[in-house]
Every structure is written in C-alpha cells, then in structure tokens.
Amino acid sequence: MAENDHMVEAQPPDPARMRRDYPGWPGEPLTEQTLGATWLEQFQRWFAEAVAAPEIVEPNAMVVATVGRQSVPSARTVLLKAVDDRGFVFYTNYESRKATEIGMNPEVCLVFPWHAISRQVIVGGTAERVARSETEAYFATRPRSSQLGAWASPQSRVVTRAELEAALADAAARFPEPEPVPAPPHWGGLLVRPRTVEFWQGRPGRLHDRLRFRDTGQAWIVERLAP
C-alpha cells in the first residue's frame, strides 16, 4: 500500500510515516553558477517554472508572517499580485490584523511553499503601502463581486454571517451597475521590499541547496546556508 494511501486505512493518518524524497526539480541542483544574477531574475525564473507546473494550484500564493503586540507572530496566505525590482506586492484590508501589525512593525516574512516541485522561497523585509494610484489601477481589474466584497468585509473582525451578507447587500445597493466600484479607502496594496531572498531546492539525501541573496547595505551578496 502506498504510504499516502490513507483512505483505505482504518487508522487515522500517521504523519510520522510520511516521507518524500526530493528528486530535485526539474532535476537540476541550485548552484552559485546557475543562480540568476539578481534575486529578481532568480525569482522570475522559478516563478515561471512554478506557474508551468500543473501540480501547483496557486503558484502566486504566499504566506505572510507579521509580528504584533508583545512580539506575538501571526501568519496567513495572500496572493502575490506584482513583483518587480522594488519587491513583492499583495492586496488586503488596511484595517485587518496583518495590516495593523505591519503598521506597528513593518518587518515581515514571506514564504512561497512550492512543495510539489521541491522548492520554497523565503523573503525577509519590510512592508509599506503602495501608491493610491497603483491600488486603484489593480482594483479596477478585479471582478465586481470581489470589489463589493472588499467594501463589505471588515476583515479580521468577529462577525455573524448575517452581518456579512447585509454588508454585501448594502455595498451592492450603494454601487449599482453599471457604475464602476471605487477602491475602498481601507483597502490597498502592501509592498514588501526584500532584504533577504532565500531559494531552497530540495535534493536527494536531504543535503538540500539553500542560496540566499542578502542586502548588506552596500551590495547584494549571495550566501549558501546549511540545509
């Protein structure tokens, strides 16, 4: 029986028995010689490969970790919506837990969990709001239902389902079709400017490759980390 074939087992799945060897994907190790010249070049290369991998459902999904009061961390998945030489952009509610924590402490960590291709990318850096014009340009591309949802959801607050549905109905009444829905003032983009970008490539035998771009303040350098 296959290790992961839990459906036919009477026992609950045992995570201690789950083991997967990393063949390396697409079969190449990550070396200082093959690494892109910049973190952005390397990210774009791996992102394109993640997008091309049918096993990865949402290649632009990333976990963003923030630090709140009394150094309590929190983390959640968001979607990457832009990447360029400034850094990584995602959109959210500026009154949400994550955005409130970023307001108190801009230090964040991002993780792209591309397990299906034995890779992960970890970014450390600081988050800041994007220009209002950038938020408005992106908001205009969202489906109308998502636009109304951004108005209706007091993200991270305790609510009832009935309150949410009433807020959505209010938003729909406030912005009747065919008028465009404007971006809510409490919603927008956050840009994560990286200070470190680590590329992790799983390899057989657990001696995985970890190459990290790090901004020393004078220059970006590349370091290899022990797996």
Ligand X SMILES: Cc1cc2nc3c(=O)[nH]c(=O)nc-3n(C[C@H](O)[C@H](O)[C@H](O)COP(=O)(O)O)c2cc1C
Closest approach, Cβ 44 to ligand X, in A, equals 20
Q: Segment near ligand X (CB under 6 A), from 32-40, 86-94, 105-113, 206-214?
A: 86-94
Backbone region of residue 70 per phi and psi (left: phi > 0; alpha: psi in -120 to 50; beta: other values): left
Positions 54 through 73 that interact with ligand X (CB under 6 A)? 58, 61
Find out whether 142 and 125 touch, Cβ atoms under 8 Å. no
Find out whether 86 and 38 touch, Cβ atoms under 8 Å. no
Contact status: 31 vs ligand X (CB under 6 A): no
Calpha distance 88→173 (Å, rounded): 34
Grouping H, G, I as helix, E, B as strand and the rest as coil, residue 116 is: helix
Question: Of the listed 132, 142, 206, 212, which one is catalytic?
Answer: 206
| 206 counts as catalytic | yes
193, 209, 41, 196: which is closest to 123 by C-alpha? 196
Residues in the chain: 227
* Smaller CB separation from ligand X, 75 or 221: 75
* Smaller CB separation from ligand X, 144 or 224: 144
Among 6, 45, 86, 97, binds ligand X (CB under 6 A): 97
End-to-end CA distance of the chain: 31
Contact status: 174 vs ligand X (CB under 6 A): no
Calpha distance 11→206 (Å, rounded): 29
Positions 131 through 160 that interact with ligand X (CB under 6 A)? 155-156
Among 42, 92, 118, 147, binds ligand X (CB under 6 A): 92
Closest approach, Cβ 62 to ligand X, in A, equals 9
Backbone region of residue 21 per phi and psi (left: phi > 0; alpha: psi in -120 to 50; beta: other values): beta
Calpha distance 194→220 (Å, rounded): 11
Among 39, 43, 91, 213, binds ligand X (CB under 6 A): 91
* Smaller CB separation from ligand X, 42 or 93: 93
* Smaller CB separation from ligand X, 78 or 222: 78
Among 77, 104, 146, 163, binds ligand X (CB under 6 A): 77
Q: Is the preceding omega at residue 26 within 30 degrees of 0, hence cis?
A: yes
Among 9, 48, 76, 159, binds ligand X (CB under 6 A): 76
Which residues contribute to the site for ligand X (CB under 6 A)? 58, 61, 74, 76-79, 90-93, 96-98, 155-156
